[in-house]
Structure 1
Amino acid sequence: MWKTQETHIILNLFSSIYQRIRDHEDRAILLGLSMVFLSVMMYFVLGITILRSYSDSVWTDEDCCTIVNSTIVWDVNCSYSCGVECWKSSRYPCLQVYVSLNSSGRLVRLLHNEETHDSNPECFYIPKCHKDYAATHAMVQDISQRLRTQLTVQCYVDPTEKADSAIMTQIYGRIAVFHSLFWPTCSLIGGTVIIAMVKLTQYLSIMCERLSRIKR
C-alpha cells in the first residue's frame, strides 16, 4: 500500500514537472514566433521606406567636390504654422552652390541631401520656414561662408552622370540601411534560435524516453 502511494506521488511529481516544462516550452515558442513575426513586419516597413529610397537614389559614388561658387540668388516663398488650421506666408533665401568634381571636372550644383532635391533642386539647403526672415537669412549666410572657407568637401555623385547635381550628405546611405536592418535581423535570429532550441529540447526528451523504454 505504501509503495503504491509512493508510486502515485512520484508519478504526480513527474507529471507536474513535465507540465511546467511544457508550459515554459509553449511560452518560449510563442516568444520566438512573436520575435520572428515582428522582424518580418519591420522588414516590410523598412522595405517600402528606407530600402526603397536607397535603391531609388542615384548619388551612390563618393567624390571630392571643389567649391566654385556659393551665392544667395533669390528668395523663395514658404508658409509656416501659426496654430490650428492657421498658416502664414514667409520666405527663405535660396543658396546656390556650384562645385567642380575632381574625378571628371564637371561643374554641377551641390545639394544638401536627397530631400533637398525632392523639395527644391535649385537651392543647396532648405531651412524651416519661420516668421523671422532676418534670422533665417543670417543662418543661410553663415552656411554660405562656411562652404567658401572649406574649399573642398566630400560629396556623392551619380556614376552615370545623368544627374546634373551632387549631394553633400546621404540620408539613405549604406550606414543608414545597416542600422535600420540591424535590430530586425537580431530579432529574427533570436526568435529562430529560441524556436530551434525548444524543438531540440523536445526531440532530446523524446529520444531519452525511448531509450529508457528500450532499457526496460
Structure 2
Amino acid sequence: MSGDNSSRTLTVDTCPTPPSENRWCQQPGGSTSGSNGGLRLPRSTEKMFMWAGSKAAQAGSDRRSIYQKIRECELLDKRRTVTALRAGEDRAILLGLSMVLLSVMMYFVLGITILRSYSDSVWTEESSCTILNSTIVRDVNCSYSCGAECWKSSRYPCLQVYVSLNSSGKVVRLSHNEEDRNPECFYVPKCQKEYPVMRVMVQNISERLRSQHRIPCFVDPTDHAGSAILTQIYGPVAVFHSLFWPTCTLIGGTIIIAMVKLTQYLSIMCEQLSRIKR
C-alpha cells in the first residue's frame, strides 16, 4: 500500500476553468500554457494592438502625404509666380531695349535731315522787313504728272516781293523759305492743270503781304546771299523737338532697364538672406 501510494502522484489542476477560456492559468510544474514559458497576451488584445499600430502608421502616412501635397502646391505656385515674373521682366527689358534702339534711329534720321539742314542754312539772323513791292511779273512754265510716265505742260504766275531791312536799310528780294525752286519768285505753287486756280492763289498771297506793312524775316548775317526769307523750314523749334523726343525715349528705355535690373538684384539679395536665416 505504501509502495503503491508512493509510486502514484496526485496531479491537481490549479485552474478550474477550461484552458480555452483562461489563458492566464499556470500549469503544474511552474510552466505556463504559452510556448515561450512566460505570460502571453490574449489574441483579441494582440489584434487590438496590431489594429491600433496599423491605424497610427496609416494616420502618419496620411499626414505625410497631406504635407507633401501642400508642399508640392506651394512649390508649384512659387514656380508659376517666378515664371510669370521672369516673363514680365523679359518683356520689360525688351521694351526698354526697343525704346533705346528707336531713339538711336531717331537721332540718326533727324540728324541727317533737320539738324543738317539747320546747320547748313545761312539765314539764321532774325530781323524786321518792310514790304516795298509785291507784284506778279510774269508766268513761268511748269509740268505736272498726268499718269504713269505722262507729263503735261502748264504755267504759274511768278510773284516778286521786295523788302527793306530795318537794321541796315538794304533792299533785298524776299523768298518764302530756303528751299524754293525758283529764287526769283516769292512762292512757287505746285504745278496744276488749272492755271486760273494757281493765279487766284498767288494773288491772295500778294494782297495779304501788302496788307502787312512790316513783317519778321530772316537774313544772312554775312550778307552774301543778297536776299531774305519769310519762314524757316527747320528753325530752333523744330530742332528742339527733334532732340527732345528722342532724348525722352532714350531716358525712358534706360530707366525701364535699370528698374528691372534693380528688381532682380533685390530679389536675389532677399533670397540669399532667407537662406541664411534658415
Alignment deviations for residues 6-55 of structure 1 (CA, whole Å, 9 cap, x no partner): 33332222122111111110111011111111121122111111111111
Rounded to whole Å, the distance in 1 between the matches of 2:231 and 2:204 is 18
Identical amino acids, percent of aligned pairs: 72
TM-score by length of 2: 0.73
Higher relative contact order (Cα pairs below 8 Å, separated by 6+ residues): 1
1:104-143 to 2 correspondence within 5 Å? 104-116=168-180, 119-143=181-205
Q: Which amino acid aligns with 1:33?
A: L
Partner SS, residue 168 of structure 2: coil
Partner SS, residue 245 of structure 2: helix
Find out whether 1:99 has 2:129 as its counterpart.
no
Rounded to whole Å, the distance in 2 between the matches of 1:12 and 1:76 is 80
Find out whether 1:207 has 2:246 as its counterpart.
no
Q: Which amino acid aligns with 1:93?
A: P
Alignment deviations for residues 156-215 of structure 1 (CA, whole Å, 9 cap, x no partner): 111222221111111101112223334333322221111111011011111112222233
1:21 maps to what in 2? 85
Q: Which amino acid aligns with 1:23?
A: A
Rounded to whole Å, the distance in 2 between the matches of 1:191 and 1:28 is 9
The RMSD of aligned alpha carbons is: 1.6
Partner SS, residue 126 of structure 2: strand
Instruction: From 39, 49, 61, give the equivalent of 2:103.
Output: 39
Rounded to whole Å, the distance in 2 between the matches of 1:3 and 1:122 is 92
1:175 maps to what in 2? 237
Q: Displaced runs of 4+ in structure 1, greater than 4 A?
A: none
* Structure 2 residues not aligned, in runs of 5+: 1-63
- Number of residue-to-residue matches in the alignment: 214
Between Structure 1 and Structure 2, the one with more strand by share is 1
Q: Which amino acid aligns with 2:251?
A: I
TM-score by length of 1: 0.92
Partner SS, residue 115 of structure 1: coil
Instruction: From 172, 179, 186, give the equivalent of 2:248.
Output: 186
1:155-166 to 2 correspondence within 5 Å? 155-166=217-228
Alignment deviations for residues 114-134 of structure 1 (CA, whole Å, 9 cap, x no partner): 211xx1111110011122222
Find out whether 1:79 has 2:171 as its counterpart.
no
Alignment deviations for residues 61-86 of structure 1 (CA, whole Å, 9 cap, x no partner): 21110011212222211001122221
Instruction: From 61, 64, 83, give the equivalent of 2:125.
Output: 61
Q: Which amino acid aligns with 1:82?
A: C
Rounded to whole Å, the distance in 1 between the matches of 2:148 and 2:76 is 67
